[in-house]
Amino acid sequence: MSLKVLGISDLQVSKTPGDVLITYSLGSCIGLTVYDPVAKVGGMVHYMLPLSKIAPEKAKAKPGMFADTGVPLLLTKVLELGGAKDRLIVKAAGGSQLMDQNKVFNIGERNYLVLRKLLWKNNILIKAEDVGGNYSRTLRLEIDTGYTTIKTREGESEL
């Protein structure tokens, strides 16, 4: 097993048997996994902000930082590795309100809404999700099987 750790604003794809993609500390950020069970190709992005228009230069250097640049890039890279759009299994986690209890900025909620809009425009549905609340999550994807888990303070479970 080869563990590939994604930090904030990271994006990775793989079709290497034994690879496991994992990202920690999803607060208001969103972790998105995309997996094709036939091609056995998958990927993950850990984005922190909804729209790149606030910092186009950062989006160019680090497209995984934003939903509107990171999500399309993740989909493109999975398809380039042999994934098919109609077979994709998409799962999302994060979008919580950790440091914004009064919902002044609503970053977590906005991150999730932009994600839903992007996927809807691409005719892609989310199969499973664990979003919102006020706690942190760890998201993990096994490339061999597509097995996806979410870990919270309550424990670990399949997503």
> From CA 17, how far away is CA 127, in angstroms rounded?
23
Helices 107-121 + 67-80 axis angle, to 10: 40
Residues with catalytic roles: 29
> From CA 48, how far away is CA 153, in angstroms rounded?
21
Q: Three-state SS for 109? A: helix
Q: Three-state SS for 54? A: helix
Question: What are the strands of the beta sheet with 126-131, ordered from one edge?
Answer: 11-14, 41-47, 30-36, 89-94, 126-131
